[in-house]
Amino acid sequence: MKKPTEICITIDTEFSIAGHFNNAEKYQPLSTPVVTCPVNGEEQGLGFLLDTFDKYQIDASFFVECANYFYFGDEPMQSLVRRIQQAGQDVQLHIHPVWLSFIKEAQLGVFPRNDNCANRTFNELFQAFKLCIEIFERWTGHQPLAIRTGSLWADLNVYKVMEKLAIPMASNIGMGVFKPESPQLHLDSGRHLIHNVMEMPIFTYQDDNLGGREHKKSLQITSCSWPEMKKILYKARAENIESLIILTHPFEFIKKADFQYKKVTKNRVNQNRLIKLCQFVNEHDQDFVSTTFTQSHQDWCESELTQPFLKIPTYYSVGRKIHNKINDLIWTY
């Protein structure tokens, strides 16, 4: 019997600039509410995620953004990290370098107000990553095994820096989100050694083929319908695909009327998608298993893996777009 297909749900856990750079006097960056996402006193972000994972016995990797320390200090993100760890979930490092522009100590470096980890010099990127790793170690008690760059913006320099810093794994690529300049980074799934760093891309597949024009889509809770996800899971199993990396964020499980999160409500569609995915993995444990970057570290770093490029019928994409549009238009849907 072949081993179960690995499902790794990854959660980019981050705060928000929330309009501060456009109007610093009127808007301040937001912290905890962007992650916990309270609605009528109940957490629809982190709390919902941890409860759902606990109910269906799902292990997941939370990529926690650390550069926000230079605006907020250790708290409140350190408390959120503690909650994630206490729930038995995996914590890895997420970096949005725009937060480094708040650094006041000149000896730490001067960083432009730029959130792109690509197209930076080696030295600037090395210092940025080094600072974030130090914060991560203080918050978690250990060095990260994996890094994910903000907005999945990465270039080959990112991997050179990670190699220098002895970080063994990355998950920086999602071809349906951002296409890197280097063809070497045009990766849809599997495991790929880049400058001695094992890259685990967000699983990307073909969802459209209208008029001969093919379109790639990365597997995300907020933008993939449950019928689409289920089709992908069954087809991945049939085609012997070993692992799928899935992307989400805590704030995807609410709807917000403004970037300051003053009016929010539960996003029932996205919550239902995650619940159905977790329930499916739990109930089909002979064929599928949840995993994390920590749990699979040794196996994943042992060898590279090229997986088949998966294609699904276009009508799944049409159905998903209609469903997402209805969900966007109707506040109480």
Asked if residue 106 has pLDDT above 90, the reply is no
Q: Mind listing the pLDDT tens digit for each residue in 256-280?
A: 999 999 999 999 999 999 999 999 9
Overall domain count for the chain: 1
Asked if residue 317 has pLDDT above 90, the reply is no
Instruction: Report d(CA 207, CA 272) in Å as an integer.
Output: 21
- pTM (predicted TM-score): 0.97
Q: How many residues does the chain have?
A: 333
Bridge partners of 207, per DSSP, are none
- Where are the strands (E) in the chain, listed by range? 5-13, 38-39, 42-43, 60-65, 90-95, 146-149, 169-170, 192-194, 197-199, 204-210, 213-218, 243-248, 254-256, 264-266, 288-290
pLDDT tier for residue 330 given thresholds of 50, 70 and 90: confident
Average pLDDT over residues 194-202: 98
* Residue carrying the six token digits 């690529």: 173
Q: What is the SS3 string spanning 163-204? A: HHCCCCEECCCECCCECCCCHHHCCCCCEEEECCEEECCCCE
Q: Mind listing the pLDDT tens digit for each residue in 12-26?
A: 999 999 999 999 999
pLDDT tier for residue 332 given thresholds of 50, 70 and 90: confident
Q: Mind listing the pLDDT tens digit for each residue in 288-315?
A: 999 999 999 999 999 999 999 999 988 8
Question: Could you say which DSSP state residue 12 is in?
Answer: E
Write the DSSP string, 257-284.
SSTT-SSEEE-HHHHHHHHHHHHHHHHT
pLDDT, position 273: 98
Instruction: Report d(CA 228, CA 216) in Å as an integer.
Output: 14
pLDDT, position 315: 85
- Domain hosting 190: range is 5-329
pLDDT, position 198: 98
Residue 137: exposure state from Cβ atoms within 10 A (0-12, 13-18, ≥19)? middle
CATH number of the domain where residue 160 is located = 3.20.20.370
pLDDT tier for residue 333 given thresholds of 50, 70 and 90: confident
Q: Are 70 and 102 in contact (CB under 8 A)?
A: yes
Handedness of CA 67, 131, 111, 123 (dihedral sign): negative
Strands 264-266 and 254-256, sheet pairing: antiparallel
pLDDT, position 257: 93
Q: Are 91 and 77 in contact (CB under 8 A)?
A: no
Q: 3-state DSSP call for residue 50?
A: helix
Mean of per-residue pLDDT scores for the chain? 96
pLDDT, position 314: 87
pLDDT tier for residue 211 given thresholds of 50, 70 and 90: low
Instruction: Report d(CA 217, CA 60) in Å as an integer.
Output: 21
